Structure 1
Amino acid sequence: YDHQNMIIKKIELQGFKSFPERTKILLHPGITAIVGPNGTGKSNIVDALLWVLGGQRSRSLRGERSGDVIFNGNTKKPPLGMADVVLSLRDDDEELTINHRFFRSGESEYRLNGKQVRLKDIQDSLWKRDIAGKEYFVIEQGKIGLFLTSKPAEKRLFLEEAAGTAFYKDKKRQTQNKLENSEQNLIRLEDIIAEVSTAKNSLQRQASAALKYRKLREKIRQLNSLNYRKKFLEIEKNLQEITLSYENSLRQEKELISQLKAEEKNLGQKRREVWNLENSMKEGQKNLFALNSQVSRVETDGERETRRIEFFEEKKNKAIEDTAEHEKELLHIDKERAEAEENLKILGQTQRQKQQALKKTDQAGQASQEKLANWGKKLETLRNEYFEKLSSHTETRNEGVKVEKEKELIHRQEEKLKSQLSKERTLLQQSENKLEQNKKELIQAQKLKDEKKKAMTARQKELDGTLSESQSLQNKISELKEKKDQETHHLWALEKLEKKERSTDFSKDIPEALGLLADLIETDDEHAPLIDIFWKEETKATLVHAQDFMKILAEKEIKGNFLLISPKKKEASPISSKLYKDPQVVGLFKSRIRPRPKIKDHLSHLQEAAIVKDIKSAVQLWTRFPSSNYITLEGDLLLSSGLLKMGQKEEGIFTLSQEIKKIKNNIARIDKNIDPLTLNLKEKIEQKQKFEEELQGESALLSQLDRKIEEIEKESKYDQTEKERIAAHISLFKNEIDVFTEDRETLTKKMESVSLKAKALKEEENSLKKKIEDEEKEYADYQGGDEQRRKNFFELKAGVDLLQEKINNLNQRLQTQDQRKETLQAKLNSLQEEIQNCDTEKLKLKENIKNLSQSAKNLEEDRKKQERELARSESHLQNMKNEQEDMEKRIEQSREEHEDKKEERVKWEISKAEIDRDFVNLEESCWQDLKKSLQEVKKEIPEEKIPDTAIQEKLAEAEEKLQKIKSVNLMAEEEYSIQKKRFDFLTQQKKDLRESIDTTREAIKKIDHESKHQFMKALKEVNKNFKEVFSLLFKGGTAELKLADPSHPLESGVDIAAQPPGKKVQSISLLSGGEKCLTSLAFFFALFRYKPTPFCILDEVDAALDEINLARFLELMKKIKNQTQFILITHNVKTM
């Protein structure tokens, strides 16, 4: 085998169609046959080979959708999420590995030698290694018979592959696309250049206006500097004069203030003397008031002492009454005490008698207690013996009970174990049943999971379809919006130009005006430029009746362009009928215009023109009919005056208005197209959301199923473990039951021995019990007599105790009476002492009243003396106040003089402040206007350089000129520079683009020439090979390849003519199926002779051949197997 060509080394498949597991197929040089019954996936290997090499269409891969290439599951295996095919190619020098993966999500990736690449990169790499398209190396059973009846253009494709012109054809297509894009870019660039040029020219005018504006501003700035300098000097001069007057007024005011202060000082001294005298008088008045108060207080104290004497008299009488009552109570207490002492003596005698009887009874009781104690000790000894026997018997019985309980416990435990054993056997059965139920549920859940996965796959496909449709709608809407934005931008530019053109519209100045002429007429798009050229000034003029214009003109001044309408109908110069009928005349200018109804009768006075084909015709007609105007379809204008205007392409207001209307209609149409698409997109988005929600729901349900399956598996595992545990418990319970049976027998024997021992101990216990009962009966009889003795003793003891309690009560009573007697005696002594004190206090109070009367007399004398002194001080005070008033009047006159001077000083101060304010305002204005201080202005312009001319007049004149200038774009110079650079750049781009277009066209010519040469050479060689191979396969006959249209070899299809030996066939479609198959194979092998393909796939192409033709075909294939690797899929036994 010739290893110069690259052949297929191996192909690996995983998840592709019917190959879920990774499958590796090795292919050898020469011929490799793939055989097998139908449905085993032979053709899927061919599909995988085509798919990995870039096959995209689902039908060529025998599927409806791209996702059909992924393994979709069967009864044993679930669907997969990815299809992966790896193809290894090799030759003597290198090995090439191509990998294609596709996921259910729609993602796809290609890899070349392990690196992720584009499909185009793989195709380019295959082109370089002479591996052509699929049609060249794949020959299928269904298509081999249809090849001869295919179109000539389809047959040509095979020859182009062999000739290598398919590469040139693809390059030509790319170059043509590039050329078309360049031409489109050139058109767009020219539009942009036109817009930029318009903007540049406009900015140039604005830049000139801005320059003029700046110069005027600079002049105003200079005049302002002079004006501020002049005002500054005037303010300085006024400030000096006012400052001098202000300082004189201030000096005089200060002298008056000094004089006023001296007088005020004397007045203050006088006021202090008056104040001191007033204080002295107030102090005297205060003393007089104090003396009056002391007199009143002494009189009040005398009255108070008199009332105290009366109080002590009442207190003495009350003490005498209390003393009589306490003496009476003392007599009553002495009587009660004598009675209590008599009763105490009687109770003492009775107590002594009962204490003697109690002593005798106590001695007899002690003897009886001693006898009972000895008898009790004897009984205690008998009881101890009884209790020992009883304890032994009880222990024996307890031991028997213990054995019985142990036996019963063993029996219960044995029964419990048997019950547990029964339960465990039931649990074991339940566990086995549960395991079986879990197994069924697991199978059911797996089945439901598979169904949900299929449903999710179907829903995902629907979602993918909806996403694709949504994306397509979004793309369409984006295209329309982009187109709308372009139209809107164009509209904005046109409206800006139109606004500039409409600056001549003065309709607002004349309410009766009809408007601009451009707004009142219509025409077709192709004639709009002619109106702007011929009626350039008229279309910009405001249409108004002459009478209305005269009325407004009488009222106010009007500026602008107006087109007056005469009240009398005026006809323009008529066009000669000979001129109208001349063949060079296309029509009349006004006939192309459609005026509005309100001006239909007012256009007759406007100029008329004849529309001609070109300027040459216009000049010729003008020489014959010089009184008429002429305009060409290109826009050149020849007036009756002989004025010729050529090359006037500039758009006017009418053309702009027409274009604006057209663009607005386009925008409205685009909006109308966008609305249904937007509505449809909204529906698709809602549908997508619905599918996504359903997918989410299905996914959630699938997750629940996965969790349920996992839970069932865990539960089954747990149940299996539980089953094993229960089986172990059953075995353990059986062993424990055997042990309990042995223990129960041992306890039965032990219980019999304990029963005999308990019987003997019971007899001994009964004997002792009878003996104790006899002794206890005698002891109880003696104890009954002793109890009566004890009863008598306690009765006597209780009587003695009661007498003692009575004696104690009487003693307590006597003690209380003694204490009460002592208290009354103390109170009597206190009352006697109080009576004596009252007498003493009465004597003291009478002495005090005498002293107070003497003090009151002395105070009255002092009060009268103080009143005389106050009268003398009041007379002196009045004299001093009169002197003070005289001084105050003199000071008031001085103050008035001071206020006058102060007002004068304030007046000059206000004038100075006003000058300062003017200076500050002037400083602020200077800074706002010039951004300089007044001092800086004064320094910059010396006083001698200030001109004597009227600066204010020049400044007002300059500002008036500045006001007349309309709004100025101060950035226009910078913007103009930017636009000019952009214009120059775009112009250069246009030049480069034109050179690129010329170069591209030249390249297409070269490609066409090379393609023609290569194709004709291949056609000649393949035709020669075809004749030879056809003759070889049919053992004679003739065959030929020819162009359907020899005059156009680059586009012409290819026809096949074939005549098998012994037949004269009129049409190739009349050949039998085997003959068609053999003829097609002859054509393909003729191609392989000219350009051998590295490998060729033959998919059941031998199905239609009989044995003789099959033998010839196989013989031919053997001859060229050293040049081409054949992969043969067949059912034919002879082929195998």
Structure 2
Amino acid sequence: MRLTKLELHGFKSFADATNLVFEPGVTAIVGPNGCGKSNVSDAVRWVLGEQRARLMRGAKMDEVIFQGSSARRPVNVAEVSLHFSNEDGILPVPFREVVITRRLSRSGDSDYFLNRAPCRLRDIADLLRGTGLGAGTGVVIESRMIDALLSDRPDDRRELFEEAAGVGLYRDRRRTTERRLEETTGDLQRLDDLINEVASQVRSLARQRKRAERHAEIMTRRFTVELALAAREMEAWREELGRLETRLVDLRAQLPAAESAALDAEAARDQAHGGRAAAEAQRNELSRLVSAQREQVQRIRGEMAVAEERQRNASARRQRAEAEATAGEQTGVQIAAERENAAAERAREESELASAEAELARHQEAENEVRRVVAEARNAVEGAERELRELQDRVRRVEHERERAVRELDEVRQRADALAQEQARLDDALAMTRREHEELQVEVDAAQAAAAAAASEMEEARAADRDVREREAVARAELFRADEALTALQGRVNALEQLERDRVGLAPAASRLLRERDRFGEGAVLGPVSDFIAADQQSALLVEKFLGNSVHAVLVRDRDVADAIRVWHGEANPGPLLLLPLDAAAEPSESGREDGLESVVDAVGLGRAWVRTLLGRVHALEGGSAFVDARGAVWLPGTATGPGPLRRRAELTELRRDLTTLEAQRQAASRTADAMRESLLASERRVLEATEAASVAQLQARQTLERQAESSRRVARATREAQEAATLAERLAARAAELGDRHRALDADTAALTEQLGARQQAIADARERASVAERSQEEARELRGRWQVRQAETRARVQMAVDRERRLAQEVSTATQRLAQLREELSELALSDSALAEQMASWTLDLETREATLSDGEASLAAAEAAVRTADTALADADHAVSEHHRRLAAASDELHHAELRFTELSGRRAAIRERLETEWKRPLEEMIAEVPPVDLDDDALRMEAAELRRQIEQLGPVNALAIEEHDETMKRHDFLVAQRADLAEAKASLLQAIKEIDATARELFLATFEQVRVNFREIFMSLFGGGECDLRLENPDAPLDCDIEIHASPRGKKTQRIHLLSSGERALVALSLLFGIFLTKPSPFCLLDEVDAPLDDANVGRFVRMLNQFKSRTQFIVITHNPRTTTEAGDAVYGVTMQEPGVSSLVSVRMRGASTEASLPLEPVAEEAAVTS
């Protein structure tokens, strides 16, 4: 597996599509500063999944998209692709080539592709797992890593080791696990508080449950007693209903004869309907036939008109075709002559073309000879320039090393000054840290006191919440009882209103008169006398006893209406009926007694006069068992009957008043329940706020303790850093003296190389003059060859034009011949069409005469059918009259049946009232309840007394939470669930603690294994680069490898073992490269990109670096971004040049492949875009 190509489009400075092809070995990428070379390494890191914008040298990830330049607009999409050869099958996909692509748009959409198919970053990571490739691997080694290794900050150095060991993943897992552990601990604390709260609710609901169970026992006995009473009352009415049902059967048996007669009349009417329908069907059929004949006549006439028009059009077409045929024959002769002329012209042009091609070949041979001479001259120039560049490279290296020595000397002096300031700062920081540690102890004490106070407030809020919950439960029970009472009373009111609307209990004749009152006119029949009396139930009972059947009397407007009703009564015979005309009523001359019936009722409406007439000066005797009027006449009523219409209206009025009172009570209970719910919500909020406050206080206390521990660690760290700064100051002083000597030696080397450079430049000027003369000769030969190429092209164009003209004329001859044949065929077809149309016209003329005769006969038959329809209409009207008469007789028979049904309905209404009352109260079918009631061995009076006692016990029991049993069960389930949840959380906490131990053990094992492997690799590479010496890696605290510092010790050959801070900058860079390669080799990848890691190296160290690349390139493919010409020439198997000919836009300008037949120039400064790019 190896990298074969990198594609960039719109990535950073690579605005255009750019392809870099890689071969095995070392590929070098060179170019001046700021041309965008390092963007190549950013592109490789980015396409492998890097998500940190900081490592992309930006603040936001969308900064990798080309931002535009002075001459270009920004692009909207950045895309990078890596091509891998998978011939060895290392990647687990069935492809010989694998392409990984990442695309980012300015809208924020980020997409990944695998072989151009959309995928996820996880899919790419899974594919590359085990290959050493990925965003977090060491596939890209850059100069900042050298700085990190040489930095005085141990965290930067440790980060490189942890990335190689893969410990970062375990650190993330540990942080995630610790966060989950903290959340689990908090959940356990909150769950303990919640369990205590629910346990308190369970105790309260247990007391409420006992009262609810006692209430249920009493209601069960009351159910038995009241259902036993209802069963006995229902049985008392069952026998009377049986007799009424038998009578109804007899009456219903008399109706079939009347119905049969009505059916016979209807059958006769249906037969008349059939005759009328048949006559109408015959008339419709004749009408349809006549219409069809008319349409046929019109169609034939239209077709004859169309045929005449077709004959005229055919004649005109025939004349046009004959004229066109004559013109076509003349055109064919002319085209044939033009074709012969075109053939002759083509022959002449082909001869001239052959002559031009021969002359062009001669001039091309001459130009090739001149080109060979120019190539030799250019090769001489290139050889001289190559020698000059090598000398310039030596000059630049010496100057670069001298400048580096100056910079390093300045750097050492600056570091020494900065170190002195750092020592002062560390002393101040140590004192400040100790003061902060003391202040934090005070904060710890305050935070712990606040946590204790918050816990106390939380307990008080929970106690208040329990009290509010009990009062809210009582309010809900009161509301429930109010709803039950309101529902029962509303059911009773609805039942009485239905009976009132149906006039149940009113005399049958009066009830029927009220149903048919509209036939006597509006306002004629006013209503029964009971509608005009308002009284309470006791007074209504007295009035009904006195009036007897007169309570069913009906008030009418006047005597005329009474006469009309009498006529109707004689015809309908509905039964006894008492009428009270308003104009017949006389006001009593004297006012009634104060204890009379008139004084205990209210006469309302138009019936006021009749009420006073009927009840005037009448009072009750012996408690209402008898009555006496003003004349002394004594009324002795018989046995009392059931409630009459007056008592029912009085009961309905009282029930409506009770309903209004109950609704007000229910609204008050609802308001109380709502208020208690609001109080409960407020109490719950207070409990929640107190709990959260306690949690926050506890969290703050823990955080303060953590800050105190962190402060202790900072004190220890500050002490250690102060000691290290003192040691480093001594080393920097020694290094400054060494750098001063090196600078003076490099000044002498620079002067000698400058003299050699002048001689080389004069030799190059002479070679360029000779090359210039040869290039002028080449230009003259190229110009002459160009003229003959133009002449050849012009001749070839004329030949092609002649060929095209000859081909076009041949096509025109063929087209004219085909058109002439078509015209002759069209003339023949027109002749045949004229003959056929003439025959068709004759046939249509005969058919038209026949159809016009048939149409006349059909219109006569249609008139006769319409007369038959009128006769059938007369017969149907007679049959309708007979049906109406029979239905009138059937209605008279039905009235008699209605009177019996009315009585049956009255008794059934009483049974229904009892049923409705019980079913409304107990919410169950009556039969089902009676079936469940066991036999009761008590008489009716005893049952009534027991029912009253049970009601008294319910009232004495007081408000009961009807939902207490369910709430107690649900709360117990919740309590058990919370206890189980706490056990799960405790188990989860133990599991998380174990997971942290396992993560620490795995991370420690991985880190130590990687550290030892890096240590071995570091020693091997160090010995190879320096040709001897000693080096080592050490852990500051081997017992805590995951947290301690890593020390680097290196001693090149001939020097004593010492820390790398005292080595020269080049030696330090080479040591860092040794370590970076040692880290890379622990997890080798198919390729490695080195981004300007050789910049700090001098000439000798560059040679060592090149030898290292040549040593490892057989195992790993290297891509080196460099400024150093020696790295390029000695190590590079392929070289790419990057430049910015257009400001702000990077472009690929040149490449050289080792072993190729030709080798393009590779300048370090921008070159022309025409430079060849080969692979």
TM range (shorter): 0.3 to 0.5
TM-score by length of structure 1 reads: 0.38
TM-score by length of structure 2 reads: 0.37
